[in-house]
Amino acid sequence: MANQAHPKAVEEWSSEQGVKNLIQLWNTMPTKPETEKLIGAMVENCTPHETIVDLGCGPGRKLTILPDHRSYRGYDISELFIQAAIENYGNDKAHSFQMRSLFDGAPYRKPVDVLLCIDVAQHYADPLGLLKTVMELWPAQKYIFTVLHGPEKQDLLNGYVAATADLERWLSENGVVNEQRDYPLKDFAPLTMRYVSFKNR
């Protein structure tokens, strides 16, 4: 069975109002300043970080928090998000945005320095399987991603929670953790969002 996105998430990504609501949510999250700083620092700690790919780029919101780089390419399956990203940041050789499913694989061969997959995996039925697919189809020297995890697997609103034990096992079996940090979700305790900087084996 295909690793499908949560129906509620797909509905949000396909609706103008849903996209507006998500952008508003991201802009007002209490953890926004701290997590954006963390993502920027994780990218900075990847040497080099000249070429960056952003899977699930949304409206391009991470572009402004990245350290100096030569090339940024953002991909998303939502036409509305790509339109918003181009309106916000344009589309040129240095910073480009394109509609593309991560299951289609990378439109490039040489591994990029850093691949971001933030707030993506939790929207798929098998979050850890999704990350494995990303590493198989999108070559990169380093991966920075998030995983929503808790005591057990569960369906939550527009996404899925991975069991913490499964996450720990997956990390140990699939690569090397460079950095990681957990941010508890106060409204959904004991669920936690983990940010990971990771190198594939």
Please say if the pLDDT value at position 1 is more than 70: no
- Structurally, the chain folds into a number of domains equal to 1
Beta strand ranges found along the chain (DSSP E): 51-55, 71-76, 95-99, 112-117, 140-150, 154-156, 159-163, 175-184, 192-200
The pLDDT, as a whole number, for residue 30 is 87
Residue pLDDT, tens place only, 98-116: 999 999 999 999 999 999 9
Please state, in angstroms and as integers, the Cα–Cα distance from residue 24 to each residue in 61, 72, 150, following that order: 12, 24, 26
- For 127-136, what is each residue's pLDDT tens digit? 999 999 999 9
Task: Spell out a b/e string for 72-95, using b for 16 or more CB atoms within 10 Å of the CB, else e.
Answer: bbbbbbbebbbebbbeebeeeeeb
Amino acid at 172: S
Q: Decide: 81 and 19 in contact? Cβ < 8 Å.
A: yes
The CATH code of the domain that includes 85 is 3.40.50.150
Q: Is residue 22 part of a domain?
A: no
Alpha-carbon distances, residue 155 vs 5, 115, 123 (angstroms): 12, 26, 10
In a domain? residue 118: yes
Residue pLDDT, tens place only, 165-194: 999 999 999 999 999 999 998 888 899 999
Domain that holds residue 135: 36-200
Q: What is the pLDDT of residue 186?
A: 84
Q: Is residue 7 part of a domain?
A: no
Higher pLDDT among residues 157 and 40, named by residue: 40
Per-residue pLDDT, 188: 85
Is 89 inside a domain boundary? yes
Q: How many CA atoms lie within 13 A of 155 on its CB side?
A: 7
Is residue 109 in a domain? yes
pLDDT 10s digits, 48-84: 999 999 999 999 999 999 999 999 999 999 999 999 9
Q: Judge contact between 161 and 188, C-beta under 8 A.
A: no
Q: Over the stretch 4-38, which tens digit does the pLDDT of each residue have? A: 999 999 999 999 999 999 999 999 988 899 999 99
